[in-house]
């Protein structure tokens, strides 16, 4: 019986605790959105067409910018994202390349893992190649990033 009262008291405190948290400046208190972020549109500020926030050396803000998406379907396979990243790099569109590489990495990470072992890093060579391409991009080495992407494409076949 005592346990029930404690639970009721704690549940009753949740709205008070949540409302006691101060919001960062400029945040819409009703939606939680930052200025320039229209909920449901997939668009938010800050925007950038340059790769950044990949590694500590290229991070200039605690808020990663919204990058342009590659011109392929949202549910495209890894190979399509890798080809889009290579094309974007060859055209100097580093932000789009970063976005495509991050999407390729996400697709390559889709895997089954045993229960309670989700914290075990993937040993997939394709994931490692994409990570290396992102690292090359983070230091501005577009040529090396393209080479790594080409190696990743061979693995993705």
CA distance 67 to 134: 14
Q: Say yes or no to pLDDT of 138 above 80.
A: yes
- The burial class, CB within 10 Å (0-12 / 13-18 / 19+), for 122 is middle
Q: How far apart are the C-alpha atoms of 146 and 144, rounded to whole Å?
A: 5
Q: Say how many CA atoms lie within 13 Å of 63 toward its Cβ.
A: 11
Residue 40 to residues 27, 37, 65, 66, 71, Cα–Cα distance (Å): 16, 9, 17, 14, 20
Contacts of 97 (CB under 8 A, 6+ apart): 51, 85, 86, 88, 89, 137, 142, 145
User: pLDDT tens, 67-95?
Assistant: 778 989 888 999 999 999 999 999 999 98
- Write down the CATH number for the domain with range 56-156: 1.20.120
- pLDDT confidence tier of residue 144, bands split at 50, 70 and 90: very high
Asked whether the predicted pLDDT for residue 3 surpasses 70, the reply is no
pLDDT of residue 44: 61
Per-residue confidence (pLDDT) for residue 146, from 0 to 100: 97
Out of 26-35, 51-60, 89-98, 121-130, pick the least confident: 26-35
Q: Where are the beta strands (DSSP E) in the chain?
A: none
Q: Which pTM does this prediction carry?
A: 0.68
Hey, what are 39's tokens?
């909920």
Say which residue, 114 or 17, is predicted with more confidence: 114
Nearest Cα to Cα of residue 98 among 145, 151, 36, 153? 145
Q: Where are the domains of the chain?
A: 1-45, 56-156
Residue 9, pLDDT > 60, answer: no
């Amino acid at each position: 019986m005592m346990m029930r009262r404690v639970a009721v008291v704690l549940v009753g405190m949740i709205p008070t605790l949540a409302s006691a948290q101060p919001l960062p400046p400029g945040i819409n208190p009703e939606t939680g959105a930052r200025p320039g972020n229209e909920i449901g549109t997939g668009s938010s500020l800050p925007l950038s067409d340059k790769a950044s926030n990949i590694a500590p050396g290229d991070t200039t803000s605690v808020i990663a910018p919204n990058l342009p998406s590659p011109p392929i379907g949202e549910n495209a396979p890894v190979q399509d994202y890798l080809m889009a990243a290579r094309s974007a790099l060859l055209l100097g569109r580093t932000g789009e390349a970063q976005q495509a590489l991050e999407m390729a990495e996400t697709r390559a990470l889709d895997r089954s893992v045993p229960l309670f072992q989700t914290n075990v890093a993937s040993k997939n060579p394709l994931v490692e190649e994409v990570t290396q391409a992102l690292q090359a991009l983070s230091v501005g080495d577009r040529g090396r990033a393209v080479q790594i992407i080409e190696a990743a494409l061979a693995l993705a076949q």
